[in-house]
């Protein structure tokens, strides 16, 4: 049986948090250099840059594995739990990423009926919705529509974000919520492949006793993310 490391105590966990944050920032700077070089690279150097980017992802993934092995808690601290109108929250998130949508000439097609209220921390729920809308924009082509729908299914409020973008293969779908997994899909406008946001978004959903899932019919066929949260009146 493989040896499991002893979980970090609170002091060690705090030090690991700071170390991991600093390391991620340094690695992210390296990724930015790779992106700049790629914009002017010829075919002969493309393979080397891809190798360098893969090493970046592996280093980031190893950092996450260490934090997981030492049981460092990274769940959000839900401190202000109140009824949250999800339609209002989506509108706020859409405003937050308006500059991104405008730059890529994308539009949001919204179907947001009233009365879709959940119980949660508004800050983290907004971060979650921002993550889903930003992801849809990043992996969709210019001038494309992104569809956002709210509905109720018994005691759950369901938010779906559907895009016509690059889609995911079966292997990508299995790793969509793994931090810094090396996926086949690439953004449509040369944007960084952060690949940790969706993993955090799922954690934020689970912290609210909800779920976050993704479906795709394959590369080039877009994605549909489904967020399900308990309705406020179902508590």
Instruction: Name the residue among 141, 132, 129 with its Cα closest to residue 103.
Output: 141
pTM for the model: 0.79
**Better-predicted residue by pLDDT, 182 or 48:** 48
Residue 219 φ then ψ, to 5°: -55, 135
Write out pLDDT tens, residues 190-202: 665 556 789 889 9
Q: Give the model's pLDDT for residue 154.
A: 93
- In sequence order, which residues have a C-beta less than 8 Å from that of residue 111 and are 6 or more positions away? 147, 148, 149, 150
Q: Given a cut of 90, is residue 208 above it in pLDDT?
A: yes
What pLDDT is recorded for position 74?
67
Query: Predicted confidence band at 116 (pLDDT cuts at 50, 70, 90)?
Result: very high
The CATH number that domain 81-234 falls under is 3.30.565.10
Residue 121: its pLDDT value, please?
94
- pLDDT tens-digit map of 15-35: 887 787 788 788 878 878 887
């Amino acid at each position: 049986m493989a040896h499991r490391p002893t979980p970090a105590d609170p002091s060690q966990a705090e030090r690991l948090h700071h170390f991991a944050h600093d390391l991620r920032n340094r690695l992210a700077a390296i990724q930015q250099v790779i992106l700049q070089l790629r914009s002017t690279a010829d075919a002969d150097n493309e393979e080397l840059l891809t190798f360098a980017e893969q090493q970046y992802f592996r280093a980031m993934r190893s950092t996450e594995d260490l934090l997981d092995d030492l049981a460092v808690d990274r769940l959000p601290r839900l401190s202000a739990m109140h009824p949250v109108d999800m339609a209002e929250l989506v509108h706020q998130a859409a405003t937050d990423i308006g500059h991104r949508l405008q730059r890529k000439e994308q539009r949001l097609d919204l179907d947001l009926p009233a009365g879709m209220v959940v119980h949660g921390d508004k800050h983290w729920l907004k971060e979650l919705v921002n993550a889903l809308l930003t992801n849809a924009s990043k992996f969709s082509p210019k001038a494309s529509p992104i569809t956002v729908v709210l509905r109720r299914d018994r005691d759950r409020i369901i938010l779906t974000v559907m895009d016509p973008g690059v889609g995911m293969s079966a292997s990508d779908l299995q790793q969509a919520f793994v931090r810094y997994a090396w996926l086949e899909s690439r953004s449509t406008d040369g944007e960084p492949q952060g690949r940790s946001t969706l993993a955090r978004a799922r954690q934020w959903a689970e912290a609210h006793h909800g779920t976050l899932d993704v479906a795709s019919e394959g590369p080039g066929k877009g994605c549909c993310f489904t967020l399900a949260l308990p309705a406020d009146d179902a508590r």
